[in-house]
Amino acid sequence: MTAFRERRFTSSDGLGLYWRDYGDAASAATPVLCLSGLTRNSKDFDDLAQRLRPHRRVVSLDYRGRGQSEYDPDWRHYQPPVYLQDIRHLLAVAGLARVVVVGTSLGGALAMALGLVVPGVLAGVVINDIGPTLSGKGLSRILDYIGTDRPQPDWPAAAEQLAKSFWPGPLTLVLPKSRAIPDLVTAGGPTVGVRWPSHPFIQAVIGECGFPLAAPSANLSNQVSPTNAGHVRKSLGDKLALIVDGGQSQVGIESTVIDLTTTPPRVLRPGIIHEESLTAVVGNLQPPTSNRQPPTLRSPGLLKKHYSPKAKLVILNWANDADLHGQIERRKAKSENSHVIAHTHIPTGAGLGSVSVIPHDAEAFARAISGELHRCDEAGAELIVVEALPDTIEWRAIADRLNRAAS
């Protein structure tokens, strides 16, 4: 009998990565993350995981190009910074905010690097066979990080730790506005959202400016967000003198927004960086903001209706084609003008405007969903039906966007 669950997720650059999941995900015991050596894979830890799984969750990863993970044709990606990014991605997908890392050889080095990049995630480290010598300074630094893992005392400390952990990347920090920021930028409000994006072009632009750069979204209010230059051109082309094509969005949904002006901090808009990952860095968070529109908007994406296509959007579950067509008819829509976006229960397409299939993977779905909504609108859809999403951590931000689009 297989005593573990075989799982996969998609890396930030689109590679399919494999991991094993042992034990009860709901266990109160601190989970264990197993990282193998350079030429090894997740199977190395099977004996250890089998012994631990009755008492705690154990997760082990096949690095890209190893075991059952996909091969990366770009040799430049076989290096520790990329492995570290994949590990952080796994932690988010698995909902692991704090772990004990067991690292062998390369895995030990990656465990120490993890302690530098996201120190709050480490509850303990077991390093085996990392080389002929092991510097005491490295272990001391890890222990120092673990020993100081506590809620950040003030917003500058929290902002610094979050920036170290997640920038450049899809995380916006809401901070007190300084006098250098014009009131026009914040609509007269006392706070401002700050982000350091990962695209090299906009990084270069910001570097050349020498002043804070205000960058609103490249779409009309409440409409579907653009994920490529073509979407921007169709929405705002006649209003813009220049559009720089930076390629397809690598995330697909808007950034996570965390408000550091409250105690404890509060996530205003969920994103691909989950609350559990943020908690590992800053300590406690306030409960998520409800869908009720607040009187003062401290972040984009808080309107009850937002990210909406031109067509009416509904979120449905269906058992089969007949059930799907019946639900469409009850909404007084014509099936031939209804476009379906599915991930698990794929209809045949008979009698429907179109059927699009997005992989049953949260990050792949996030990258593709806005583009599919744009495509449905361009095709003249009367109704867009999106298959209901799993109620798990990694799908939370996508569900937020779709629920607002369907309001």
Write out residues in the chain with pLDDT < 70, as ranges: 1-2, 129-153, 288-303
pLDDT at 337: 94
The pLDDT tens digits for 63-90 are: 999 999 999 988 889 999 999 999 999 9
- Scan for tokens 């829509």, then name that residue: 333
**276 CB-side CA count, 13 A:** 19
pLDDT at 261: 92
Of 321, 309, 174, 376, give the one whose Cα is nearest residue 255.
174
The pLDDT tens digits for 179-225 are: 888 888 888 889 999 999 988 999 999 889 888 888 888 888 788 99
pLDDT at 346: 94
Q: How many CB atoms lie within 10 A of CB 87?
A: 25
Domains of the chain: 4-147 (3.40.50.1820), 155-282 (3.90.870.10), 312-406 (3.40.50)
CA–CA separation, 125 and 382 (whole Å): 55
Q: What's the Cα-to-Cα distance from 328 to each of 22, 164, 346, 351, 353, rounded to whole Å? A: 41, 48, 15, 11, 12
Q: Between β-strands 171-176 and 383-387, what pairing exists: parallel, antiparallel or unpaired?
A: unpaired
pLDDT at 288: 66
pLDDT at 102: 92
- Scan for tokens 């002043």, then name that residue: 211
CA–CA separation, 266 and 72 (whole Å): 37
pLDDT at 232: 93
State which H helix or E strand residue 271 sits in.
none
pLDDT at 58: 94
Residue 154, beta-bridge partner list: none
Q: Would you say how long the chain is, in residues?
A: 407
pLDDT at 140: 55
pLDDT at 132: 43
pTM listed for this prediction: 0.64
CA–CA separation, 143 and 162 (whole Å): 20
Of 126, 146, 118, give the one whose Cα is nearest residue 32.
126
Of 116, 122, 126, give the one whose Cα is nearest residue 34.
126
**42 CB-side CA count, 13 A:** 27
Cis peptide before 264 (omega within 30 of 0): yes
